[in-house]
């Protein structure tokens, strides 16, 4: 496969992954209107584990059960499980597009956490992009009377946990994707079991099928995004993650009758602009660093 075809395939996989994640979010919002978050997490995770198990056996059960840096892996699983639970809790009360807008501020959180926890150097331009992203969150939420409501704060906290999971994932680059996904799914199952005592509604056959399908769709979406990042550079495919907002607007309008406010649209635009700016700056920084290394090698060889 040529580099161009690989990039096109990567873009296609990212677009499919984002569509599937959107369907997952829509189904999740629909189901948490009837079932508790714990119940949705449990049944969703069981279905997802059934999908991932063949990959686990192919890779080797022992290899999967013994990941590198187990403490950091456990921390990543904790962050990811909390993020999923908070998302379903948030969309119980918030319009889908509003929740997704807040969640897409996660790259902004990543910059702050990387500077504080990993010691990464952040220049003034990136801090400006961070400020732009948080301005977008404020604009999206402030005009409504519920701007500081508990659901809104839950969404912000969920976005923070999502970013924390990504930061932990940066330190686990040597861990196979199957291991990461399997442990994340198991963590979501345990989180669901912990929340299960708060309520149980016996699902109908139709809803049980939807709950199972929810897990399969989520797992397939993860596989698509993971494959996308392997086929093409992140700078090529990551911008297409913002199609999530488009799908959230469309599904929110047609299925739930949620029409976005002008403030939410403006806030979403600012968050997307901040995320793209951070991506461009990262690409330039990486390119400059690579060029400097090549020049150093040339000088040494000379």
Per-residue model confidence as pLDDT tens digits over 122-168: 778 878 888 888 788 777 766 444 446 788 888 889 889 988 887 78
Count of structural domains within the chain: 1
Q: How confident is the model at residue 193, as a pLDDT? A: 92
pLDDT band at 261 (very low <50, low <70, confident <90, very high): confident
Quote the Cα angle for 216-253-248, to 5°: 45
At residue 177, does pLDDT exceed 80?
Answer: no
Quote the Cα angle for 145-95-279, to 5°: 100
The domain containing residue 34 runs over which residues?
Answer: 3-301
**169 vs 179: CA distance, rounded Å:** 12
pTM for this entry? 0.76
Per-residue model confidence as pLDDT tens digits over 179-231: 888 888 888 899 999 988 777 888 888 888 888 898 889 888 877 887 787 78
Q: How confident is the model at residue 20, as a pLDDT? A: 92
Per-residue model confidence as pLDDT tens digits over 99-108: 888 887 777 7
Q: How confident is the model at residue 226, as a pLDDT? A: 73
Q: What is the mean pLDDT of residues 21-45?
A: 89
Q: How confident is the model at residue 294, as a pLDDT? A: 43
Ramachandran assignment for 174, one of left (phi > 0), alpha (psi -120 to 50 degrees), beta (any other): alpha
**183 vs 67: CA distance, rounded Å:** 9
């Amino acid at each position: 496969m040529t580099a161009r075809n690989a990039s096109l395939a990567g873009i296609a996989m990212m677009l499919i992954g984002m569509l599937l994640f959107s369907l997952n979010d829509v189904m999740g919002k629909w189901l948490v209107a009837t079932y508790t978050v714990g119940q949705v997490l449990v049944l969703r995770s069981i279905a997802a584990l059934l999908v991932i198990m063949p990959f686990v056996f192919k890779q080797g059960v022992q290899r999967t059960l013994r990941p590198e840096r187990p403490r950091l892996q456990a921390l990543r699983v904790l962050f990811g499980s909390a993020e999923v639970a908070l998302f379903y809790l948030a969309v119980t009360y918030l319009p889908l597009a509003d929740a997704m807008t807040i969640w897409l501020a996660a790259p902004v959180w990543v910059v702050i956490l990387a500077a504080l926890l990993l010691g990464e150097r952040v220049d003034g331009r990136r801090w400006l992009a961070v400020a732009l992203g948080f301005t977008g969150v404020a604009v999206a939420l402030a005009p409504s009377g519920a701007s500081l409501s508990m659901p809104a704060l839950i969404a912000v906290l969920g976005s923070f946990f999502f970013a924390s999971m990504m930061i932990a994932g940066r330190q686990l680059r040597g861990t196979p994707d199957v291991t990461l996904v399997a442990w994340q799914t198991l963590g979501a199952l345990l989180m669901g079991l912990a929340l299960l005592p708060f309520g149980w509604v016996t699902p109908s056959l139709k809803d049980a099928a939807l709950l199972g399908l929810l897990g399969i769709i989520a797992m397939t979406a993860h596989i698509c995004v993971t494959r996308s990042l392997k086929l093409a550079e992140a700078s090529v495919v990551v911008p297409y993650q913002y199609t999530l907002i488009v799908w959230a607007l469309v599904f929110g309008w047609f299925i739930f009758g949620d029409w976005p406010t002008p403030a939410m649209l403006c806030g979403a635009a600012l968050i997307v602009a901040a995320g793209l700016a951070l991506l461009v700056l990262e690409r330039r920084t990486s390119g400059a660093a690579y060029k400097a290394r090549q020049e150093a090698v040339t000088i040494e060889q000379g």
